[in-house]
Amino acid sequence: MSMATKKVTITLDESQLDRIRVLVGSGAAPSVSGFVQHAVGVALDDVAGWGAMLAGALRDTGGELSAEERRWADETLGVKGHRTTSAA
Protein backbone atom coordinates (compact mmCIF):
# COMPACT_ATOMS: atom_id res chain seq x y z
CA MET A 1 0.00 0.00 0.00
CA SER A 2 1.42 3.38 -0.97
CA MET A 3 0.99 6.37 1.30
CA ALA A 4 0.44 9.86 -0.09
CA THR A 5 3.52 12.04 0.17
CA LYS A 6 4.08 15.77 -0.01
CA LYS A 7 7.30 17.52 -0.87
CA VAL A 8 8.57 19.95 1.78
CA THR A 9 11.71 21.95 2.32
CA ILE A 10 13.73 21.33 5.48
CA THR A 11 16.91 22.85 6.81
CA LEU A 12 19.70 20.59 8.06
CA ASP A 13 23.13 21.29 9.42
CA GLU A 14 25.66 20.80 6.61
CA SER A 15 27.51 18.14 8.56
CA GLN A 16 24.26 16.19 9.08
CA LEU A 17 23.53 16.33 5.36
CA ASP A 18 27.08 15.22 4.57
CA ARG A 19 26.69 12.24 6.91
CA ILE A 20 23.35 11.31 5.34
CA ARG A 21 24.89 11.50 1.86
CA VAL A 22 27.69 9.17 2.98
CA LEU A 23 25.04 6.68 4.13
CA VAL A 24 23.23 7.01 0.81
CA GLY A 25 26.50 6.56 -1.09
CA SER A 26 27.31 3.40 0.86
CA GLY A 27 23.83 1.97 0.26
CA ALA A 28 22.90 2.14 3.97
CA ALA A 29 20.09 4.59 3.16
CA PRO A 30 17.97 4.61 0.00
CA SER A 31 18.12 8.38 -0.54
CA VAL A 32 18.31 11.59 1.47
CA SER A 33 14.52 11.76 1.33
CA GLY A 34 14.19 8.12 2.36
CA PHE A 35 16.54 8.67 5.29
CA VAL A 36 14.60 11.72 6.50
CA GLN A 37 11.27 9.88 6.14
CA HIS A 38 12.63 7.01 8.22
CA ALA A 39 14.09 9.38 10.85
CA VAL A 40 10.77 11.22 11.17
CA GLY A 41 8.92 7.92 11.55
CA VAL A 42 11.33 6.80 14.30
CA ALA A 43 11.00 10.15 16.08
CA LEU A 44 7.19 10.04 15.94
CA ASP A 45 7.17 6.48 17.32
CA ASP A 46 9.61 7.56 20.03
CA VAL A 47 7.38 10.47 21.08
CA ALA A 48 4.34 8.17 21.17
CA GLY A 49 6.29 5.63 23.25
CA TRP A 50 7.45 8.22 25.77
CA GLY A 51 3.90 9.58 26.00
CA ALA A 52 2.55 6.11 26.72
CA MET A 53 5.29 5.48 29.29
CA LEU A 54 4.57 8.79 31.02
CA ALA A 55 0.83 8.06 31.07
CA GLY A 56 1.54 4.64 32.60
CA ALA A 57 3.85 6.12 35.22
CA LEU A 58 1.27 8.75 36.14
CA ARG A 59 -1.42 6.08 36.37
CA ASP A 60 0.79 3.88 38.56
CA THR A 61 1.76 6.72 40.90
CA GLY A 62 -1.63 8.33 41.50
CA GLY A 63 -2.31 10.30 38.35
CA GLU A 64 -1.71 13.91 37.38
CA LEU A 65 -0.14 16.33 39.83
CA SER A 66 -2.54 18.20 42.07
CA ALA A 67 -2.57 22.00 41.84
CA GLU A 68 -0.60 22.14 45.10
CA GLU A 69 2.01 19.64 43.83
CA ARG A 70 2.33 21.57 40.55
CA ARG A 71 2.83 24.88 42.41
CA TRP A 72 5.52 23.27 44.59
CA ALA A 73 7.26 21.76 41.55
CA ASP A 74 7.10 25.03 39.60
CA GLU A 75 8.49 26.95 42.57
CA THR A 76 11.23 24.37 43.14
CA LEU A 77 12.21 24.37 39.46
CA GLY A 78 11.93 28.14 39.11
CA VAL A 79 9.14 27.94 36.53
CA LYS A 80 7.24 31.19 36.07
CA GLY A 81 3.49 31.07 35.49
CA HIS A 82 1.14 28.09 35.34
CA ARG A 83 1.07 25.64 32.46
CA THR A 84 -2.38 24.98 31.03
CA THR A 85 -1.71 21.77 29.08
CA SER A 86 -0.92 18.27 30.23
CA ALA A 87 2.38 16.61 29.41
CA ALA A 88 0.71 13.31 28.55
Which pTM was predicted? Answer: 0.59
Q: What percent of the chain has pLDDT over 70?
A: 89
Sorting pLDDT into bands at 50, 70 and 90, what band is 3?
confident
Report how far residue 35's alpha carbon sits from residue 42's, in angstroms, rounded to the nearest whole number. 11
Phi, psi of 41 (to 5 degrees): -60, -45
Report how far residue 53's alpha carbon sits from residue 43's, in angstroms, rounded to the nearest whole number. 15
Confidence at residue 80, expressed as pLDDT on a 0 to 100 scale: 82
Average pLDDT value for residue range 13-34: 97
Show the CA angle centred on residue 28, arms to residues 21 and 23, nearest 5°. Answer: 20
